[in-house]
Amino acid sequence: MRTVRDAAFDVLRRTGMTTIFSNPGSTEIPLLAGLPDDFAFVLGLHEGAVVGMATGWAIAHNRPALALLHTTAGLGNAVGAIATARSNRAPVVIVTGQQDRRHLALEPFLAGHGLTALAGPYPVWTAEPVRPQEVPGAIARACHEAATRRGPAIVVVPQDDWAQPAEEAVLAAPGTVLRPAAVTDADVAELARLLAGARSPALVTGAGADSPEAWRALVALAERLRCPVFAEPFGSRAGFPQDHPQYGGLLPAEREGLRERLRGHDVVLAVGAAAFRQYVYRPGPLVAAGTVVAVVSDDPDEVHRSAAELAVLAPPAAVCERLAALVPERTGVAAPSFARDTAPPYTPGEPLRAVHVLGELAARLAPETILVEETPSSRPDLVRLIPARRPLGFLAAGMGGLGFALPAAVGLRMAAPDRPVVAVTGDGAALYGIQALWSAAHYHVGVLFVVLANGRYAVMDRLAEGIGAGKAPWPPFPEVSVAGLARSLGCPARRVEDLADLTAVLDEVIPALGRRDEPLLLDVAVVPDTEYRL
């Protein structure tokens, strides 16, 4: 008898979701026991790590990844990671178990209540099939929804559904969805006129422009306009080559600084980014009077929340390619050329600071490296010192919650084994996703994890000091050994306490990082930064 499980596996094969990231429970055993040989199973020791690995895998492949979670507790544990996947526009299909349909009315042990609502508004689509035969079609649709709407889609499946006959399986989803991305001259004519008439234009690029096609189009447009290109505040990916001479750095994440940085530009075009993401609230307008803001994005939410006079809802690469062909070249002005920052010199005998570690990484990382960031107190120095030189060269959690970097780096390296992957994280941040180190070790994933260990939540300390309301109540945690935790999870680790140790291990590891099949964690002792800069 052909079962719903058999039909579901056929859907997963057709959609390319044959790698299953999971931390299963009893409600998932009927699906997983006797898994077909053409499927790969990746175990994570926490649901946040599971969804984080799937998120990294989906971003690297640019197509849906599959995560399988246990009922209520498992899905609940993953909600923060699901929110991050949505913010990072990662197409992740999440299949969640449910108790046996035949006695759900009696509310048995592990019965889930309102599972499709548990993750709140963060999934792009949810389904709880009414009949077992609808499960394969629901999974197919979830794949299409995740890919089209760029986010996590959830399907809840009772554990007894998998064994039901599939003769009447309802495949209410197309086998293939084509998503044409053509843009005509007429579609961008108004935007082209705006740029053509600009006296001093500027570009702002974001995560939605992080693709080879968008980078090529944006370089052509920036060089034609001879204008500066800035990165969106708190962007999760780089939308422009940051070693290009016209790259002007990261925009401030508060209004006064944003206004000053963009002052003098009469037209500002944000590409693959909203206008404009902020962090700490400050009064006043986003831009100075006389500055016209326009937005190009294929994300409706991003477009609709932007404070802009004009927005184009279309693929950034296609729009910028047409703009580069239509907008006349600006003559009579020199293209800006920004100098690259370097780390301050290290004085022998002084304590090691995060900026010194980042400077040593900057001097050694290959252009094709994927850098995953989760170090809040040191992020300004990281994005200033280590430019993204290739598409997908930089990745951070778009939501801002902790626990993303370690599992995402594992998923990225699994999906892109030909690229070196380095995760730079604080010790406080690492503790939220530490379970991913077991998966990295068990599956021979050669990521370099660099933990900037200051024994405290340094960014929280600085923010508390900044409001001047008195001493913060939380203590430091210098007793925590991230290297010790890594070793307990089977991941090789080294403690680094001075610059000589650091440079020696980096010189040993980084040249062969692209070929490495064993993870390594560096637990680097640094003193806390004394100030926090947006």
Higher pLDDT, 208 or 168: 208
pLDDT tens per residue across span 287-342: 999 999 999 999 999 999 999 999 999 999 999 999 999 999 999 899 999 988 89
Does some domain include residue 176? no
- Which H helix or E strand runs over 310? strand 310-313
Assess whether pLDDT exceeds 90 at residue 472: no
What is the reported pLDDT for 474? 82
Q: Do residues 154 and 213 share a domain? A: no
- pLDDT of 532 > 60? The answer is no
**Alpha carbon distance 130, 167 (integer Å):** 16
Does position 534 have pLDDT exceeding 70, yes or no? Answer: no
**Does residue 339 belong to any structural domain of this protein?**
no
Residue 346 lies in a domain: no
SS3 of 293, please? Answer: strand
Residue 205 belongs to a domain with what CATH number? 3.40.50.1220
CATH of the domain at 146: 3.40.50.970
Question: Residues 193, 125: one domain?
Answer: no
Are 243 and 234 a contacting pair, CB within 8 Å?
no
Percent with pLDDT over 90 in the chain:
86
CB 448 within 8 A of CB 412: no
Look at residue 358 in the predicted model and tell me its pLDDT: 97
pLDDT in tens, 473-514: 888 888 999 999 999 999 999 999 999 999 999 999 999 999
The mean pLDDT of 344-355, rounded to a whole number, is 91
At residue 173, the pLDDT reads 79
Same domain for 155 and 24?
Answer: yes
In this structure, are 300 and 422 located in the same domain?
A: no
Residue 532 lies in a domain: no
Q: What is the pLDDT of residue 181?
A: 81
pLDDT at 533 over 70: no
Instruction: Confirm whether 341 is domain-assigned.
Output: no
Q: What is the pLDDT of residue 465?
A: 77
If asked whether residues 362 and 492 sit together in one domain, one would say: yes
The parent domain of residue 56 ranges over 4-163
- The tens digit of pLDDT for each residue in 26-71 reads 999 999 999 999 999 999 999 999 999 999 999 999 999 999 999 9
- Does a structural domain hold residue 129? yes
Q: Domain boundary residue among 279, 309, 326?
A: 326
> Which phi and psi angles does 136 have, rounded to 5°?
-60, -40
337 falls within a domain: no
Q: Are 519 and 442 in contact (CB under 8 A)?
A: no
242 and 285 in a single domain? The answer is: yes
Asked if residues 352 and 452 have their Cβ atoms less than 8 Å apart, the reply is no
Are 79 and 155 in a shared domain? yes
| Mean residue pLDDT across the chain | 94
Same domain, 289 and 426: no
pLDDT at res. 117: 94
pTM over 0.75: yes
Q: What is the pLDDT of residues 12-21, one digit of tens each?
A: 999 999 999 9
Q: What is the structure's pLDDT at 466?
A: 75
Residue 534 covered by a domain: no
Predicted pLDDT of residue 281:
86
If one counts the domains in the chain, the total is 3
pLDDT of residue 169: 60
pLDDT at 170 over 80: no
Quick check: 403 pLDDT over 90? yes
Q: Are residues 143 and 246 in the same domain?
A: no
Query: Does residue 486 share a domain with residue 434?
Result: yes
Please give the structure tokens belonging to residue 260. Answer: 């000053």
The residues, any chain, with a CB within 8 Å of residue 255's CB and separated by 6 or more, are 278, 281, 282, 283, 284, 285, 286
Indicate if 377 and 456 belong to the same structural domain: yes
Report the C-alpha gap between 152 and 143 in whole angstroms: 9
Residue with tokens 């600071």: 353
Residue 467: pLDDT over 90:
no
- The DSSP output letter for 445 is -
CA 481 to chain centre: 27
The pLDDT-based confidence of 386 (bands split at 50, 70, 90) is: very high
Whether 78 and 15 share a structural domain: yes
Task: Render pLDDT for 254-302 as a digit per residue (tens, 0 to 9).
Answer: 999 999 999 999 999 999 999 999 988 889 999 999 999 999 999 999 9
pLDDT tens figures, 421-434: 999 999 999 999 99
152-156, 251-255, 359-363: range with lowest mean pLDDT? 251-255
Average pLDDT over residues 450-475: 83
Confidence of residue 530 (pLDDT cuts 50, 70, 90): low
First to last CA, the chain: 61
The Cβ of residue 187 has, within 10 Å, a number of other Cβ atoms equal to: 15
The phi-psi region of residue 380 (left if phi > 0; otherwise alpha if psi is between -120 and 50; otherwise beta) is alpha
d(CA 42, CA 23): 9
Task: With CA atoms as reference, report the closest residue to 409 among 420, 418, 400.
Answer: 420
Confidence of residue 349 (pLDDT cuts 50, 70, 90): confident
